[in-house]
Amino acid sequence: MKRLLLLALAAGTAAHAQRPTIDISGARVQAYPIALAPPSGAPDGSDVMDVLAADFDRSGLFRLLDPRSFLADPAKEGSSASTIDFSKWTAVGAQALVKAAAKVEGDTVKVDFRLFDVPHASEMLRGEYSAPRAALRQIAHRFGDDVVRAFTQEPGIFQTRIAYVRETENGKQIAVADSDGYAPQQLTSGSINLLPAWMPGGRSLAFSSFRNGAGAHLYQVDLATRAVQPLVTMGDFATGAVFSPDGIRFAFSASQAENTDIWLSPIEGGAVRRLTDSRGIDISASWSPDGKRIAFVSDRAGSPQIYTMAIDGSDVRRVTFQGNYNQEPAWSPKGDLIAFSGRDEHRVFDLYVVNVQTGKVGRLTQSEGTNEKPSWAPNGRLLVFSSTRSGKKQLWTILPDGSNPRQITNDPRGASDAAWGPLAGK
């Protein structure tokens, strides 16, 4: 009898229909709700917290909760996991909670920061961060990067810097600022200077300049001393230097005999090599993160489009086919996307990304001024670009899906040509 039942069950199982399957892809990414409790102690704590809030907001990683909605009394509940009533933070939607207490010792500000995981009612991170009062903002950037790492196991970019071109009464000058646009430092002071690029180590910038009066050529400037020296002076002009990820060579565009091509040079000097040899214009090189390919712009097919090639100039592949003016490629640190600016049918430049494998183009900006020159943050989670959406050209950041645009410069005459610097210590 038992055997009969087993056989019947087996037959029944075999008779079951196949379970249907569907695949769902394209997850939307939602910012993580975080509460920044008003800090206790010295008033400098509030300044630090403001910088931290702006960092988190710009990153797109976190959604800041409105302090007016907080149910807990931060002063009374203390700052340890055993005294905090996490249900009050859960009730306002917080998934993470930051507490801070500041004190001043002489000219030094010290902030005791704590990060809590609200659903698990546990402390995730704790540390005392100190800095001279003049460098107060760095406390927030350092703690912010630690928070990002605690969640994502990836380095944060709040301590990185951005090089750009600043419009001044003496022409376009190379400048560098913190990743939030604060603490700008102008590095050049005369002539027209364009297209800054970070050199390996992050202590110098290469840039294009008309300073010798005979067309643009490549120079480099030391960030600490502001000393300028020539880098490439060949041809009618040489411009747009970009350094390989391994830091041993750089690509640039140069014009010789009325033909503009991409060239490759060892960083220590030596023989340069021409990588492209088309009759059209080949410019705006950008390295793939593995250093094996270079993206560039060419009009060899009649209109400027994005192409890639191996670093010996072989295996040229056209990447963009839509639009008739695509320029300024920037290969993402993850390697999957190339950001670029393209002119649409309204003859306005906007930002796009193209998937290197599939060729699918996504649009990041639309109907908000002119948007140009994208540059990726070293963690690939943010881009900086220039936009006229608020009036004069200024630097903005945006997420790779086109959301969360934030203005980071407010230069009186404008800012453009941003190049996001490397991670601290790289």
Let me know: does 326 contact 359? Beta carbons within 8 Å. Answer: no
Among 17, 75, 224, 271, binds another protein (CB under 8 A): 17
Is 342 near another protein (CB under 8 A)?
yes
Cβ-contact 372, 341 below 8 angstroms: yes
Counting contacts by CB under 8 A, is residue 64 touching another protein?
Answer: no
Using CB under 8 A as the binding rule, whether residue 85 contacts another protein is answered as no
184 or 362: CB nearest another protein: 362
**Cβ of residue 223: shortest distance to another protein, in angstroms?**
29
279 binds another protein (CB under 8 A): no
Q: Which of 398, 242, 244 minimizes the C-alpha distance to 329?
A: 242
Cβ at position 377, least distance to another protein in Å: 12
Decide if residue 422 touches another protein (CB under 8 A): no
Q: What Å distances lie between residue 82 and 79, 123, 391, CA to CA?
A: 8, 10, 51
Judged by CB under 8 A, does residue 12 bind another protein? yes
Report the C-alpha gap between 262 and 245 in whole angstroms: 17
How many residues interact with another protein (rule CB under 8 A)? 55
CA distance linking residue 116 with residue 123, whole number of Å: 4
Using DSSP bridges, classify how beta strands 383-387 and 371-376 pair: parallel, antiparallel or unpaired: antiparallel
Joined together, the tokens standing for residue 38 give 């008003």
The correct pick among 153, 229, 314, 358 for binding another protein (CB under 8 A) is 153
Question: What is the rounded distance in angstroms from the CA atom of residue 372 to the CA atom of residue 395?
Answer: 10
- Letters for 378-417 (x = contact with another protein by CB under 8 A, - = none) are -xxx--------------------x---------------
The answer to whether the CB of 275 falls within 8 A of the CB of 251 is: yes
Residue closest to 166 by CA, chosen among 402, 401, 395, 404 = 395
Q: Does 322 bind another protein (CB under 8 A)?
A: yes
Binding part of the chain for another protein, among 100-108, 131-139, 147-155, 292-300 by CB under 8 A, reads: 147-155
Query: Per the structure block, which two tokens stand in for 330?
Result: 């920037």
* Of positions 35, 48, 54, 62, contacts another protein by CB under 8 A: 62
The runs of H, that is alpha helices, within 282-341 are none
Cβ 228 to another protein shortest distance, Å: 37
Binding site residues, another protein, CB under 8 A: 1, 4, 8, 11-12, 15-32, 60-62, 66, 68-69, 71, 95, 151-154, 321-323, 326, 334, 342, 344-345, 350, 352, 361-366, 379-381, 402
